[in-house]
Chains A and B, each alone.
Chain A
Amino acid sequence: MTTAAERAQGATIFTEIEALLPLVSKPIQYVGGELNAVVKPWDSVDVRWVLMYPDAYEVGAPNQGVQILYEVINELPNALAERTYSIWPDLEGHMRAAGVPQFTVDAHRAVGDFDLFGVSFSTELGYTNMLTAIDLAGIPVLAVERTIDHPIVIAGGHAAFNPEPIADFIDAAVIGDGEEAVLRITALVQQWKDEARPGGREGLLLALATSGVAYVPSFYDVTYLPDGRIQRVAPNRPDVPWRVAKHTLMDLDSWPYPKNPLVPLAETVHERMSVEIFRGCTRGCRFCQAGMITRPVRERSMSTIAEMIDNGLCKTGYNEVGLLSLSSADHSEIAEMSKALADRYAESQTSLSLPSTRVDAFNVDLANELSRNGRRSGLTFAPEGGSERMRQVINKQVTEEDLIRTVSTAYAAGWRQVKLYFMCGLPTETDDDVLQIAQLAREVIRAGREVTGSRDIRCTISIGGFIPKPHTPFQWAAQLDHEATDARLQKLKEAIRNDRQFGKAIGMRYHDGKPGIIEGLLSRGDRRVGRVILEAWRQGARFDGWSEHFSFTRWMSAAELALADQPVDVAWYTTRERQQNEVLPWDHLDSGLDSEWLWDDWQAAIAETGVGDCRWTPCSDCGVCDQMGTDIQVGPTGVTELPMPILRTSVVG
């Protein structure tokens, strides 16, 4: 076995890994070899990135964010990017025993050899997996202990909009769209290397911070009030900005990535090609962090989308295409697009899916169009709140009448099963609001039986616990404790079970409230929560998004230990309501949303009044476009003809 010191920088360690693979489950996930993967010679470039999605390969490999950045970087002549994913505990054990470090799946190089280590967080539950990867890579877990020989660890993704809980472990965070940010960072690293690394590691971090491209936590000091609240967050270097702004990619038509989608051999959670049809959402659902931090709406045109699908199908061989966005039925050209694409792919056994949960008949029409030849099994809608009042609070402008009309249309069109998404634990919610979910489901079944004349229809209600997120109007709200969440869901379950007439046609899916409390702690935590993460990880926390690996007891005991000398605890971070004047841990990270607007929207929520979508009603002054110099980019473009498909060669003899 070679040691790190003997191994050349960037050398492949596949032989060492290969010896361990027969000993572990699903070894294919560690070997790479995906269609369209890129391996560049180590010495052919100056700037080397390793990108990670901190979950198992089957979850991480399809991630669009990583695939896009992988391709954007690899297109540069002076840079390369490889990928790494979380190692399951079985292989982790063998790697530690054999001294094999965290590796990339592309060329099987040691992660510690790269210049930049970018980690993309869709969820805070990936934090412990990042620590495992850093540690397995032989990089000190604490950023302060790293030297010029270690990669710069950069967090990105939605969770990076509050990177404070992981401030001790990362060197920098990029907030917002990553495409242009990785190009700017690559250029800064190139320049720093060209100039013989002025200022060492800190010099590079200073260049990143002062350019505004990234947030560098170590250049900010946080002071606290005696009661535990934050007093102030201030830069500790000149030229470092007080607030770091998010990146916004404009004109998605000129960024048609991924152009070469990766096709894993191992089975993954999404066995299809994905095309992002627009970015951002201004529906204004108050619980939705994605809808708040990705403003404004920027559509891709129907022509570009059609070209991306044609090219992607050619290069991948997938037979399913997902038209992705936060609310796909809202695309200004969706009706024309769905019809044209359904026409084009009807004969080729290629299916199109539109993951839209919009509650209206138009959405059902779209689903009908896309399932012209196929099976109509299930349709999903997301009323999110069980009562009319609750839906006003969360700004989900859907009436019970809308929902019944929509599901009736769906059942009448031959859909057998309707799935409804709801949340539990929303601000101002009572038992009665949640019990109305059962009432709604009953009405859905009643309407379905009426229009179909059949009892062979079903409704499944799927309930998630509400977790208040940074940069949303609910960032000040108290999270419902897990005991109350579980009690409420129990009452709902009983209400459904006791319903003789409709109960058997209604299914209910939910999770207990405990993981939500830990996610809540990590979502709205400050730097002191970093000690909790470290302690939980040291006690063995891994794969916290997987119920079979998650341990609430371990997290709570870690929190008790790590926060023992602090005036704060888990409840303080989760179930406590914040006041307007409190400094929030993420206030110095600028999502563009005006904090007055957010507060007013929070007050409007409590007063049960709605706010419109700026695509169809006047601007509500959320502040994003003014602050970021952006604007809504929507069609329709007027072009409804699909571009000509790519010509394929024939094997017919």
Chain B
Amino acid sequence: MARQAPVRDVAPTVQRLRLRYAKRGRLRFSSHRDFQRAFERALRRAGVPIAFSAGFSPHPKVSYTNAAPTGTASEAEYIEIGVTVACDTERVRAALDEALPPGLDVLDVVVASTSDFAARLEASIWQVEFPGLSLHVVQQALDAFLAESEVLVERLMKQGKRTFDARAAVVWARVEEVDAAAGVAECAILTVVVRHSTPAVRPDDVLAALRLVADLVPPTPPRVTRLAQGPLAPDGQGVGDPLALDRG
């Protein structure tokens, strides 16, 4: 008995679309796998003519890049999809946004007209809010961190515990304070530009490094948001729009 995949007519991909979406509020606790399942359901609900791979178990043509870790919010996650019929980008954006639960919001859709998209995601801007910590305390920790040329941190990965440098990837950082409105506890806000590397240095690695060099232990878990991803700005203080080239 042969175990061959059934022969199917697979509709070809005629257009590739690049999407930016946000993961906000309580939905920041969704994992990347949670998002993948939700997104594939949303494609069906929205009636997007997604292309499928051939074979025994066809899967929709969706590529994900650099997902923000579970528990962190993001304003800048990117996906690329292949469709079998040319689509209107704004209609796709609106339909997918509607089909996803509130908090997973599709912000931008463009037709992919360039290659090497993933390579354009050179760095991320992360924002870390520290409720209960003053600007001064966080600034001191940051200064100590920036003064080092290398800060080795440990993280549990699939392959086991790994030790790597969390310092070199941090290209720029700044601390501000929330305007102390009445009734709001003090809250320092750290903004860091982190270059994408292998292994990826994540915000919790930077937090681990701040604890190592300056004993910074936040009273409550900090709230982390990825603000942007893209090509590193020439001055190293930010990132550009990775979809700019596709917009033409």
A contact residues vs B (CB 8 Å cutoff): 14, 18-19, 21-23, 26-28, 30-35, 263, 265-267, 271, 313-319, 349, 373-375, 414, 416, 452-454, 456, 648-653
Residues in B with CB closer than 8 Å to A33 are: 26-27, 101-103
A21-B71, A34-B101 known, 18 other contacts, Cβ within 8 Å: A18-B26, A22-B221, A27-B29, A27-B70, A28-B30, A28-B31, A30-B29, A31-B27, A33-B103, A35-B41, A265-B38, A266-B34, A267-B37, A313-B44, A318-B44, A373-B8, A653-B88, A653-B91
- Of B29, B31, B47, B102, the residue contacting A651 (CB under 8 A) is B47
Interface of A is mostly: loop
Asked if A652 and B26 sit within 8 Å, CB to CB, the answer is no
Asked if B87 and A652 sit within 8 Å, CB to CB, the answer is yes
Residues in B with CB closer than 8 Å to A653 are: 86-89, 91
- Of B88, B92, B220, the residue contacting A19 (CB under 8 A) is B220
B169 contacts the other chain (CB 8 A): no
A315 to B45, CA, bound (A): 7
Residues in B with CB closer than 8 Å to A19 are: 220-221
Interface centre among B6, B29, B40, B44 (most CB of A within 10 A): B29
A14 to B29, CA, bound (A): 13
Closest chain-A Cβ to B138's Cβ sits at a distance in Å of: 18
Q: Contacts A22-B221, A28-B29, A653-B88 known; A265 to B44 CB distance under 8 Å?
A: no
Residues in A with CB closer than 8 Å to B231 are: none
Asked if B71 and A22 sit within 8 Å, CB to CB, the answer is yes
Asked if B101 and A35 sit within 8 Å, CB to CB, the answer is yes
Q: What would be 29 A-B contacts, judged by CB atoms less than 8 Å apart?
A: A21-B29, A27-B71, A28-B29, A28-B30, A28-B70, A30-B29, A33-B27, A33-B103, A35-B101, A266-B34, A267-B34, A315-B45, A316-B45, A317-B41, A317-B43, A319-B40, A319-B44, A349-B58, A453-B1, A649-B47, A649-B95, A651-B48, A651-B49, A651-B87, A651-B91, A651-B92, A652-B87, A653-B87, A653-B89
Q: Which partner residue on chain A sits nearest B84 by CB separation?
A: A652
- Of B37, B44, B49, the residue contacting A271 (CB under 8 A) is B37
A18 to B91, CA, bound (A): 34
Closest chain-B Cβ to A462's Cβ sits at a distance in Å of: 24
Asked if A373 and B89 sit within 8 Å, CB to CB, the answer is no
Closest chain-A Cβ to B33's Cβ sits at a distance in Å of: 7
Q: Contacts A31-B29, A650-B47 known; A317 to B99 CB distance under 8 Å?
A: yes
Asked if B1 and A452 sit within 8 Å, CB to CB, the answer is yes
Interface centre among B45, B52, B58, B92 (most CB of A within 10 A): B45
Q: Which partner residue on chain B sits nearest A650 by CB separation?
A: B47
Residues in A with CB closer than 8 Å to B52 are: 349
Asked if A373 and B6 sit within 8 Å, CB to CB, the answer is yes
Over the window 79-101 of chain B, the binary record of Cβ atoms lying under 8 Å from chain A Cβ atoms (1 yes, 0 no) is 00000011111011001000101
A27 to B46, CA, bound (A): 27
A456 to B177, CA, bound (A): 67
Closest chain-B Cβ to A501's Cβ sits at a distance in Å of: 20
Closest chain-A Cβ to B57's Cβ sits at a distance in Å of: 7
A453 to B46, CA, bound (A): 46
Asked if A32 and B26 sit within 8 Å, CB to CB, the answer is yes
Q: Contacts A32-B26, A651-B95 known; A316 to B102 CB distance under 8 Å?
A: no
- Of B44, B70, B85, the residue contacting A317 (CB under 8 A) is B44
Over the window 212-239 of chain B, the binary record of Cβ atoms lying under 8 Å from chain A Cβ atoms (1 yes, 0 no) is 0000000011000000000000000000
A19 to B37, CA, bound (A): 26
Over the window 181-223 of chain B, the binary record of Cβ atoms lying under 8 Å from chain A Cβ atoms (1 yes, 0 no) is 0000000000000000000000000000000000000001100
Q: Which partner residue on chain B sits nearest A453 by CB separation?
A: B1
Q: Which partner residue on chain B sits nearest A454 by CB separation?
A: B1
A14 to B26, CA, bound (A): 9
B173 contacts the other chain (CB 8 A): no
Asked if A648 and B47 sit within 8 Å, CB to CB, the answer is yes
Over the window 52-90 of chain B, the binary record of Cβ atoms lying under 8 Å from chain A Cβ atoms (1 yes, 0 no) is 100011100000000000110000000000000111110
Residues in A with CB closer than 8 Å to B29 are: 21, 27-28, 30-31
Residues in B with CB closer than 8 Å to A649 are: 47, 95
Residues in A with CB closer than 8 Å to B89 are: 653
A14 to B6, CA, bound (A): 50
Asked if A651 and B26 sit within 8 Å, CB to CB, the answer is no
Closest chain-A Cβ to B229's Cβ sits at a distance in Å of: 22
Q: Contacts A651-B87, A652-B86 known; A28 to B34 CB distance under 8 Å?
A: yes
A33 to B3, CA, bound (A): 42
A325 to B99, CA, bound (A): 30
Residues in A with CB closer than 8 Å to B49 are: 651-652
Closest chain-A Cβ to B230's Cβ sits at a distance in Å of: 26
Asked if B70 and A314 sit within 8 Å, CB to CB, the answer is no
- Of B8, B27, B44, B85, the residue contacting A652 (CB under 8 A) is B85
Residues in B with CB closer than 8 Å to A27 are: 29, 70-71
B42 contacts the other chain (CB 8 A): yes
Residues in A with CB closer than 8 Å to B86 are: 652-653
Asked if B42 and A317 sit within 8 Å, CB to CB, the answer is yes
Residues in B with CB closer than 8 Å to A651 are: 46-49, 87-88, 91-92, 95
A454 to B49, CA, bound (A): 40
Q: Which partner residue on chain B sits nearest A316 by CB separation?
A: B41
Q: Which partner residue on chain B sits nearest A108 by CB separation?
A: B26
Residues in A with CB closer than 8 Å to B3 are: 416
Residues in A with CB closer than 8 Å to B56 are: 374-375
Asked if B6 and A318 sit within 8 Å, CB to CB, the answer is no
A35 to B28, CA, bound (A): 16
Residues in A with CB closer than 8 Å to B30 are: 28, 265-266
List the 5 closest pairs (A to B, CB-CB), nearest first: A653-B88, A317-B41, A317-B45, A22-B221, A27-B29
Closest chain-A Cβ to B128's Cβ sits at a distance in Å of: 13
Closest chain-B Cβ to A353's Cβ sits at a distance in Å of: 14
Q: Contacts A19-B221, A265-B30, A375-B57 known; A314 to B71 CB distance under 8 Å?
A: no
Closest chain-A Cβ to B205's Cβ sits at a distance in Å of: 15
A375 to B220, CA, bound (A): 49
Residues in A with CB closer than 8 Å to B45 are: 314-317
Residues in B with CB closer than 8 Å to A317 are: 40-45, 99
Closest chain-B Cβ to A257's Cβ sits at a distance in Å of: 20
Asked if B101 and A265 sit within 8 Å, CB to CB, the answer is yes
A28 to B32, CA, bound (A): 11
Residues in A with CB closer than 8 Å to B88 are: 651-653
Closest chain-B Cβ to A431's Cβ sits at a distance in Å of: 37
A145 to B213, CA, bound (A): 54
A456 to B2, CA, bound (A): 10
A22 to B47, CA, bound (A): 35
Asked if A265 and B34 sit within 8 Å, CB to CB, the answer is yes
Residues in B with CB closer than 8 Å to A319 are: 40-41, 44
Residues in A with CB closer than 8 Å to B48 are: 651
Asked if A414 and B6 sit within 8 Å, CB to CB, the answer is no
Closest chain-A Cβ to B112's Cβ sits at a distance in Å of: 15
Closest chain-A Cβ to B100's Cβ sits at a distance in Å of: 8
Residues in B with CB closer than 8 Å to A456 are: 1
Residues in A with CB closer than 8 Å to B1 are: 414, 452-454, 456
Q: Which partner residue on chain B sits nearest A411 by CB separation?
A: B1
Q: Which of B125-176 contact A (CB under 8 A)?
A: none
Closest chain-B Cβ to A636's Cβ sits at a distance in Å of: 31
A649 to B44, CA, bound (A): 12
Q: Which partner residue on chain B sits nearest A35 by CB separation?
A: B101
A319 to B89, CA, bound (A): 24
A453 to B1, CA, bound (A): 8
A416 to B37, CA, bound (A): 28
A601 to B185, CA, bound (A): 71
Closest chain-B Cβ to A342's Cβ sits at a distance in Å of: 14
A319 to B37, CA, bound (A): 11
Q: Which partner residue on chain B sits nearest A351 by CB separation?
A: B57
Residues in B with CB closer than 8 Å to A23 are: 221
Residues in B with CB closer than 8 Å to A32 are: 26
A454 to B102, CA, bound (A): 52
Residues in A with CB closer than 8 Å to B40 are: 317, 319
Q: Which partner residue on chain A sits nearest B27 by CB separation?
A: A33
Q: Which partner residue on chain B sits nearest A313 by CB separation?
A: B44
A315 to B46, CA, bound (A): 10
